[in-house]
Amino acid sequence: WVEVRLMNHAAKGITDKDFELAKKIEDVVQWQPAKEGGALEGTPLTDQRFAYVKYD
């Protein structure tokens, strides 16, 4: 479980930086290292303990 909370009082609203950071967070959350090859395996697709993990 991960919860990310961001706050910027100086900007007094949403800025382009907020959208860029949100995109980067989304990229990390959706990252599937097994598809890239290499040493990192990612979440096992056949292990029922991780059946709740769904990728779009």
Cα–Cα distance for residue pair 43/28, rounded to 1 Å = 13
Q: Are 50 and 43 in contact (CB under 8 A)?
A: yes
Interval 2-33: pLDDT, tens: 788 777 777 777 888 888 998 999 888 888 88
The pLDDT score that the predictor gives to residue 56 is 67
